[in-house]
């Protein structure tokens, strides 16, 4: 759209772009879900709820300005949000790997530690709930 104007005879290319976009989104979403699952083991529900809320807010904002802004501006907004997301993801990965390196633990070990802490919290909550009855 910025560098390529779709033509009616380029139907295959349009479908290839859509398929590439879908495959890329599937990989990106899977990686993001996995990262959030590892980083927020003690509070997964809130982390995923926050992620879904931000996603819905972005969709609502996009819908709200879609009729007021031309396509070129929409594409630049999309590129800016994509760049900000990639930078944020990169910083998060860097901090996570730095923490793992500094503590001489792998990401799997950090996840296991968080999982054990969550298990202890679950047991404490269960004991508290059962003893209060």
Buried b (16+ CB within 10 A) or exposed e, 51-76: eeeeeeeeeeeeeeeeeeeeeeeeee
Task: Please write the tens of the pLDDT for every residue from 91-105.
Answer: 988 888 787 777 665
Task: Please write the tens of the pLDDT for every residue from 10-53.
Answer: 888 889 989 998 999 999 889 888 888 888 888 889 999 999 99
Task: Please write the tens of the pLDDT for every residue from 44-86.
Answer: 899 999 999 998 999 999 999 989 999 889 989 989 998 998 8
Instruction: Report the distance separating Cα 9 and Cα 23, nearest Å.
Output: 24
Q: How many CA atoms lie within 13 A of 84 on its CB side?
A: 6
This prediction's pTM: 0.61
Q: Which two tokens stand for residue 71?
A: 């396509």
């Amino acid at each position: 759209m910025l560098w390529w104007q779709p033509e009616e005879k380029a139907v295959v290319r349009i479908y290839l772009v859509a398929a590439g976009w879908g495959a890329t989104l599937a990989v990106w979403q899977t990686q993001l879900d996995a990262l959030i699952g590892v980083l927020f083991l003690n509070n997964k529900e809130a982390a995923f709820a926050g992620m879904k809320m931000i996603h819905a807010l972005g969709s609502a904002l996009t819908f709200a300005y879609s009729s007021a802004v031309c396509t070129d501006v929409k594409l630049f907004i999309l590129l800016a949000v994509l760049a900000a997301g990639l930078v944020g993801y990169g910083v998060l990965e860097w901090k996570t790997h730095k923490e793992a390196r500094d503590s001489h633990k792998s990401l799997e070990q950090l996840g296991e530690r968080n999982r054990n802490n969550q298990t202890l919290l679950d047991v404490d909550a269960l004991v508290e709930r059962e003893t209060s009855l």
